[in-house]
Chains A and B, each alone.
Chain A
Amino acid sequence: MTRLPITKTPKVYVGGAFIRSESARVFPLQDAAGNFFGNIPQCTRKDLRNAVEAAAKAGPGWAKRTAYNRGQILYRLAEMLEARRAELIGSLTMFGAVQADAARGVDAAVDRLIYYAGWADKYEQVLGSVNPVAAPYFNFTVTEPMGVIGVIAPDVPPLLGLISLVAPAIVSGNTVVALVSEKFPYPSILLGEMLATSDLPGGVVNLLTGFRKELVPTFATHTHLRAIVGAVGAADRKALELGAADSVKRTHFVDPDATDWLADTAQGLEAIRDTLEFKTTWHPVGA
């Protein structure tokens, strides 16, 4: 018996749920051969606003988890990716990636999650400090997550680029609203499904598909986003810096063209530090 084809409606993962854009707008996505693949949600600034609300709601609970537990959950997310490795590779090759490159990219994405999972209960020892002061006080510097972080992922590599920017933000207890690759959104749709089954609380990572030119201005000016981490070109970078200045928002940029995403240089403690606040406390020395 012939079966009807079961086509998929790609939906984005926001606030722990799979949603369409509030605007009901979509844009068609073609595979590498030019065949229609599916309609991708064209998220709007209102979707971004809703995602920020979801991220803000999830924030305190996520930050309150023990570092050890956050590491476990990131590790579990890596497990989910590993289990669906073939599907993820397929989601890259379907849109034109070479098989070997796609496999390398997915493996690197999994490894990157494991890398940051390992940092979860270690970065504080490296970044925090006990400071010598010339008075009878203990003086500590400890780190705190900033809050809701806006991530703008590079177009390529769609999966590895996104994970390289999101993982170091959430490992410390931040929550993230990310605009995923405009050209190759489908791997991020799949990633949403893995986030949903990874023990990561809903709202910690929120993924939006859509057009940069529509969403970058709102990422820049939304005062509830405490920092922007973006892999963007010069024009978007300027727009983000100008908009961010109004609310004194931190911005960190990586050059999408000059970055070797597969290399070890694309990961590191600095990326975790970029979305941390430092708090210094003076405590009187007891008798």
Chain B
Amino acid sequence: MVCDLMNAGQSASFRKLFDEIGPVDSVGVEERVAKYTTRSIKKAAKLWGLKMAISMVDLTTLEGKDTPGKVASLCRKALRPHEDPGVPPVAAVCVYPSMVRHAKKHVGGTSVKVASVATAFPSGQAPLKTRLGEVRAAVADGADEIDMVINRGAFLEGEFAEVQDEISAVVEACGAATLKVILEVSELETYDNIRAASFLAMEVIREGDFIKTSTGKTSLNATLGNNQVMIEAIRDFYLDTGTAIAMKPAGGIRTAKQALTFLIAVKETLGDAWLNKSRYRFGASSVLNDLVRQIEKEKTGAYQAPYYFSEAAESY
């Protein structure tokens, strides 16, 4: 564990936090999530799940080569993922701050929200003032939701107050916008740390704000295990405080089958109250094509070729 690298002060602050929130049984988590993949969801239930998953997608493009044109086509796809009117629009489009105003032009006034990553995404390694400025600029341009990254350096140093103060500052900068706090689980190393970071974030964000697994920019992204640790943290926090925090796994979810498995995890851990787009989201892009493809398969009975559906944005 990373404790080896820490000085006595750091490990003391971690130990204190772990004592407060309880440890994670990592073997138990792995065993639990392995069971989710054995559930058999067919026919009407599958169709319901596929449509639910589509309505939860934050359709994302986060690339240096993004252009207003690319964002425009992403927005059109977000509003109408498939020619079948029974397929709902996605929850939001997720773009870099400079693209917010372009996205807003296309989805403003619809059910599709504009989410923007901010706070020096994906590293977060910029002065706090710069990060807050980015958040305010994105909100001023019309972002309905802000995806921020936590200060992983401060977290691993054991400077929890600093982590929380920064999140609080971003909450304030968000104003009415919903906040999603990216823990970047791949840089937190252990399940215990993921649970700890989840609690630190949940203690300072508002009801309806999100905790989110990853930026999608590192090697390891959302896994069922990480998702499970975080939704169990959400459940425990809800039972303690009555505050319902939402969840967004991001990165690495590419197939409809994976998406359904994540929904099973939500259903069996948090219950039906979390099975909607205001409490659960998927940060993804290519999964949308596969979801639509599987809906078409359910309707026609024939397996579909991927090239019948639009190209996925290449991000994630």
Contact = CB atoms under 8 A, between A and B. Distances in A.
Interface of A: 45, 49, 52, 56, 218, 221-224, 243, 246-247
Contacts, number: 23
B303 A52 contact: yes
Q: Which of B301, B302, B304, B306 has the most CB of A within 10 A?
A: B302
B172 to A, nearest CB: 48
A218 B303 CA distance: 8
Contacts of B301: 221
Interface of B: 301-306, 308
Nearest to A218: B303
Contacts of A218: 303
17 contacts: A45-B303, A49-B303, A52-B303, A218-B303, A221-B302, A221-B303, A222-B302, A222-B303, A223-B302, A223-B304, A223-B308, A224-B303, A224-B304, A224-B305, A224-B306, A247-B302, A247-B305
Nearest to A52: B303
Nearest to A221: B302
Chain A interface, >50% SS class: helix
Contacts of B303: 45, 49, 52, 218, 221-224
Chain B interface, >50% SS class: loop
A222 B303 CA distance: 5
Contacts of A243: 302
A56 B304 CA distance: 12
B312 to A, nearest CB: 15
A224 B302 CA distance: 10
Nearest to B302: A221
Nearest to B307: A224
Contacts of A223: 302-305, 308
A222 B308 CA distance: 12
Given A221-B303, A224-B303, 16 more contacts: A45-B303, A49-B303, A56-B306, A218-B303, A221-B301, A221-B302, A222-B302, A223-B302, A223-B303, A223-B305, A223-B308, A224-B304, A224-B305, A224-B306, A247-B302, A247-B305
Nearest to B308: A223
A67 B64 CA distance: 38
A49 B305 CA distance: 10
Contacts of A222: 302-303
Q: Which of A45, A218, A246, A247 has the most CB of B within 10 A?
A: A247
A223 B308 CA distance: 9
Nearest to A247: B302
Nearest to B303: A222
Nearest to A46: B303
B213 to A, nearest CB: 26
Contacts of B304: 223-224
B280 to A, nearest CB: 28
A222 B293 CA distance: 12
Contacts of A45: 303
Nearest to A222: B303
A243 B303 CA distance: 12
Contacts of A247: 302, 305
Q: Which of A45, A52, A221 has the most CB of B within 10 A?
A: A221
B43 to A, nearest CB: 15
A147 to B, nearest CB: 9
A56 B307 CA distance: 11
A222 B304 CA distance: 6
Nearest to B296: A223
Contacts of A49: 303
**The 8 residue pairs across chains A and B that have the minimum distance between CB atoms:** A224-B305, A221-B302, A222-B303, A223-B305, A49-B303, A223-B304, A223-B302, A224-B303
